Amino acid sequence: MKKPVQDMSTMEDKSDNIVLFYPQVSDLAKQYVVDTLNSRWIGQGPKVKLFEDRFSKKFGSNRPAIAVGSGTDALHLSYILAGLKPGDEVIAPLFTCTATNIPFLYMGVKINFADIDPETMNIDVNHVRDLMNEKIKAIVCVHYGGLPCDMDELQTIANEWNVPIIEDAAHAVGASYKGAVIGSISDFTMFSFQAIKHITTGDGGMLIVKDTELLDKAERIRWFGIDRKSKQAGIWENDITEVGYKYQMTDIAAAMGIASLNEFDSHSNHRKTLFKVYEEELSKCERLKIIGSGFNDREHGAWLFTVIVEDRYTLQKKLRDHGIESNQVHFRNDRYSIFKEFTYGKIFPNMDKIEEDYLVLPLHTKMTENDVKRVCFVIKSGW
């Protein structure tokens, strides 16, 4: 693999710099946290339940929502609820944060990696179909950058083989597919509230489940396997019958989440406006292709703005010289040693084609439209 020609470490947050990410923590969120710290409940309490209910109503069509300590917790929980066992096989994206796939290593589940669609950097539906066999027990998809995958096609495949779809929607809160909000479509949908996501709780996650009968089990597994409702009601039989984890969210985190939900539409609209300005400014740039642009059947969640460019390192260096941070945010998982047993001898031609050429440009709520135009001006001046 090629190496960068200069230091591309995290850029300092100086007044003239445009950094790649910036957490969205409002004054309202700070107030809600202080109020929570002054209350009886700072661990998992009533604010977690309130956050779950409000999130479910806004993004999950009132399906059960389970708040947890991270998006990775939510993914692991979904894999357990989907019934995955050691020796089972799944299809999962090659190109994603490792959090999507690491829980399979905990569980002894074999990963069949699917290549990307080079037009979207989402999972390649045709490769998914080629990989299907009777051992596959789930299909996992990631909405890269906030652009929904081809959910109709994936659901058709899942229906043919009678397996669940698990959506990793860490990038896609506020996105929609054919009028359906992400969170209301598949058997399981995970959201991330990590520091730089649309909604942040410092760290945290949410799992939306389609089957309401799984709620009690999910809540037990989240809390060591204990039936917490019965315990607090004084009727718990003091037995644990299934392996649980310490995956709960705290009321401190939930307070930030509740505040973020109250302000979400405004912040989401701002991000989507910035995305559109990028599209307008860069649409005619000959040495660059925008990922996730031009779809009429789905709405982009606008977490990342990604481009495919010629001579990516030279452009990245030029942007940095002008006080603009850019980088590759996620990487193909077959480059990591922990996944080698699943990728030996496998080829992924679509990923090979663009792995050196994709670049993520700054997109966050601290930016203005003029900031985006400044980034685009530097790009359009050539590299």
5-9, 127-131, 203-207, 375-379: segment of lowest average pLDDT: 5-9
Hey, which bits of the chain come out as E strands? 65-68, 89-93, 95-96, 110-114, 136-142, 165-168, 176-177, 180-181, 188-192, 205-209, 288-290, 298-299, 305-309, 331-332, 358-361
pTM of the predicted structure, to 2 decimals: 0.95
- 3-class secondary structure, 183: coil
Given this chain, do its domains 27-258 and 264-380 carry the same CATH topology? no
Task: Report the pLDDT averaged over residues 42-49.
Answer: 97
Query: Tokens 């479910």, residue?
Result: 56
Write down the mean pLDDT value for the chain: 96
Round to whole Å and give the CA distance between 101 and 113.
10
Q: Residues near 72 by Cβ (< 8 Å), separated by ≥ 6?
A: 99, 102, 103, 205
Asked which of 1-10, 123-132, 314-323 is least confident by mean pLDDT, the reply is 1-10
Is residue 154 over pLDDT 70? Answer: yes
Residues 6+ apart with CB under 8 A from 188: 78, 81, 82, 164, 165, 166, 167, 207, 208, 209, 210
- What DSSP string describes 217-237? HHHHHHBTT--HHHHHHT---
CA distances from 1 to 144, 245, 269, 317, 352 (A): 23, 39, 38, 18, 11
The fold for domain 27-258 equals: Aspartate Aminotransferase; domain 2 (3.40.640)
pLDDT, one tens digit per residue, over 237-249 is 889 999 999 999 9
What would the pLDDT profile of 62-119 be if each residue is shown by its tens digit?
999 999 999 999 999 999 999 999 999 999 999 999 999 999 999 999 999 999 999 9
- Provide the token pair at 363: 């997109």
Query: Looking at residue 3, what is its pLDDT?
Result: 52
pLDDT at 362 over 90: yes
Structure confidence by residue, pLDDT tens digits, 262-271: 999 999 999 9
Residue 1 predicted with pLDDT over 80 = no
What is the average per-residue pLDDT within 141-165? Answer: 98
Domain boundaries, given as residue ranges, for the chain = 27-258, 264-380
Average pLDDT over residues 282-287: 93
CATH of domain 264-380: 3.90.1150.10
Residue pLDDT, tens place only, 162-205: 999 999 999 999 999 999 999 999 999 999 999 999 999 999 99
In the block, which residue shows the tokens 């009533």?
Answer: 46
* pLDDT tens digits for range 328-359: 999 999 999 999 999 999 999 999 999 999 99
The answer to whether the Cα torsion of 71, 113, 215, 245 is positive or negative is negative
